[in-house]
């Protein structure tokens, strides 16, 4: 009797717990999706609002509350910035400046990235595989150098660039950015190299390769994700930098972040125009980040975590 009862009660219990489990799972899923939707809104909303602002006429932006969806959307600001001034918009010479700013940013960021990745990888390989005196101190040193606020060294840097005749040049900015990004590149690549088994290289070394050819033929092909991550990171940081670009460049080498801030007064306080500049200026780093999303997170995690 008791055994039968207990058997059926267990069966009942099991059944109800399975049912409960299913409801719970369903509930959990709903909550998850709700949170995910909220998260996505929180992440996107500010930027989307900037995009909407960039296509809204000023009058609609000054309404209370603002028109969330513009009644008369306009692409005139984009046209004005990219193709030249249109229908009476007060945007004198903005186009040329804007495009020049974009081009300067592109040239500076690309070259900075190339130099940083090449020299940084060389240094990181040496630190990971070869006997270097004071290796640890060197690593900390590079990190702390990067931690100093730029404002402090603006004047000494200015004097330095002046000596090299590099004020308002792309190569001046490239030199500065390279110096400031190198520590990150070295840290990330160093830790990446540590994750690659040394035995592979040893085989190559025994086959008569030297360290340099081993680096190129064996190690680099295996470091793809790390290289992509540091490249993307370097490009992004150079593209986004503002203060040094403001102080060290003027009409010739001015980058897009500086140009964007100029819209605040030169052409009236058209927030829409600033938003337009902001949107276009953000596109290259955004595209890059989205394309290499996987590598950026992986590579930078490795760099931050496995640093010696």
Partner 1 sequence: MKRSISFTLTLVLLLAIGITACQNADVNEPEVDTPIVADEEMSSESEAEPVTIRALIRPDEGENVATYAAKFEEMTGNKVEVDFVSWAEIHDKTITTLATGGGGYDIIFIPSANVVEFSSGDWFEPINDLITEENHGEWLASVVDLYTVDGNLIAMPWYAGGAHMAYNADILNNAGVDINSIETWDDLLAACRIIKETGAAEFCFSPSAKYPGNFYYNWGSMVLSNGNDFFDSEGNPIFQNNDAAVTALDFIKTGVDEGFFDPAGIALDDYETLIEFGTGKTAFLLDSTWAVTQATRNTDLSTITDSANFMLIPGNGEIRSSGYLYAGGLGLLKTSEHKDVAKEFLVFLTNEEAQKQHAIQGANLPTRLALYEDEEIASAWRGFDVLAQQLTFGKFPPQFDWFEEWRRSAATAVQDVMAGRSTSADAVNWLVDETNRINAQ
Partner 2 sequence: MALAQKKSRKNREEQKLAAFLLAPAILIMAVVTVYPLLRSLWISMLEWDLTKPFSGHPFIGFQNYLAILKDPVFWQAAKVTAIFVIGAVSLEIISGLLIALLLNKNFVGRNLVRTLSLLPWAIPPVVNGIMWKWILNPSYGALNGILYSLGLIDEYIIWLGNPILSLLMVILADAWKETPFIMLLFLAALQTIPGELYEAAEVDGANWFKKFWNITLPLIKPTMFVTLSLRTIWALKSFDLIYTLTAGGPSNGTNVIGFYTYLKTFVSLDLGKGSASAYLMTIVVMIVVLLYQKALNQKGTSA
| Contacting residues toward partner 1, per CB under 8 A | 58-59, 62, 90, 92-93, 96, 100, 103, 107, 111, 115, 118, 154-155, 158-159, 162, 167-171, 174, 246-247, 250-254, 261-262, 264-270
Q: Which is nearer to partner 1, 146 or 169 (CB)?
A: 169
Taking a C-beta distance cutoff of 8 angstroms, is the pair 211, 193 a contact?
Answer: no
Say how far apart CA 279 and CA 273 lie, in whole Å.
Answer: 10
Contact between 130 and partner 2 (CB under 8 A)? yes
Q: Which is nearer to partner 2, 91 or 300 (CB)?
A: 300
Among 72, 148, 213, 250, binds partner 2 (CB under 8 A): 148
Binding range to partner 2, per CB under 8 A, among 8-16, 76-84, 153-161, 218-226: 153-161
Contact between 143 and partner 2 (CB under 8 A)? yes
54-93 binders of partner 2 (CB under 8 A) = 61-62, 64-66, 68
Q: Which is nearer to partner 2, 8 or 34 (CB)?
A: 34
Label residue 113 exposed, middle or buried (CB < 10 Å: 0-12, 13-18, 19+): buried
Q: Which is nearer to partner 2, 56 or 76 (CB)?
A: 56
Taking a C-beta distance cutoff of 8 angstroms, is the pair 56, 68 a contact?
Answer: no
Q: Which is nearer to partner 1, 199 or 251 (CB)?
A: 251
Q: What residues pair up with 266 in beta bridges, in sequence order?
A: 268
184-243 binders of partner 2 (CB under 8 A) = 186, 210-212, 236, 239-240, 242-243
Q: C-beta of 275: minimal distance to partner 1 in Å?
A: 15
Task: Pick what 239 binds: partner 2, partner 1, none; C-beta below 5 to 8 Å, kind-dependent.
Answer: partner 2
């Amino acid at each position: 009797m008791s055994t039968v009862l207990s058997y059926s009660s267990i069966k009942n219990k099991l059944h109800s717990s399975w049912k409960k489990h299913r409801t719970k799972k369903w509930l959990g899923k709903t909550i998850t999706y709700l949170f995910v939707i909220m998260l996505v809104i929180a992440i996107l909303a500010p930027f989307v609002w900037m995009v909407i602002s960039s296509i809204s006429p000023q009058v609609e932006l000054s309404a209370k509350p603002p028109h969330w969806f513009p009644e008369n959307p306009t692409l005139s600001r984009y046209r004005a910035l990219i193709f030249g001034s249109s229908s009476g918009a007060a945007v004198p010479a903005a186009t040329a400046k804007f495009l020049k700013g974009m081009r300067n940013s592109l040239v500076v960021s690309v070259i900075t990235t190339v130099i940083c990745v090449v020299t940084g990888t060389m240094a990181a390989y040496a630190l990971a595989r070869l006997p270097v005196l004071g290796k640890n101190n060197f690593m900390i040193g590079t990190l702390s150098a990067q931690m100093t606020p730029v404002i402090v060294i603006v004047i000494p840097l200015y004097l330095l660039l002046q000596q090299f005749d590099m004020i308002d040049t792309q190569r001046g900015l490239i030199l500065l950015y390279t110096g400031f990004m190198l520590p990150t590149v070295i840290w990330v690549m160093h830790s990446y190299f540590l994750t690659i088994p040394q035995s592979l290289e040893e085989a190559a070394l025994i086959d008569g390769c030297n360290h340099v050819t081993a680096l190129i033929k064996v190690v680099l092909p295996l470091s793809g994700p790390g290289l992509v991550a540091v490249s993307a990171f370097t490009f992004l940081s150079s593209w986004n930098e503002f203060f040094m670009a403001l102080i060290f460049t003027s009409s010739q080498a001015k980058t897009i972040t500086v140009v964007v801030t100029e819209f605040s007064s030169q052409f009236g306080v058209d927030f829409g125009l600033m938003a337009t500049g902001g949107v276009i200026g953000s596109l290259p780093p955004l595209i890059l980040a989205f394309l290499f999303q996987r590598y950026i997170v992986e590579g930078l995690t490795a760099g931050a975590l496995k640093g010696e």
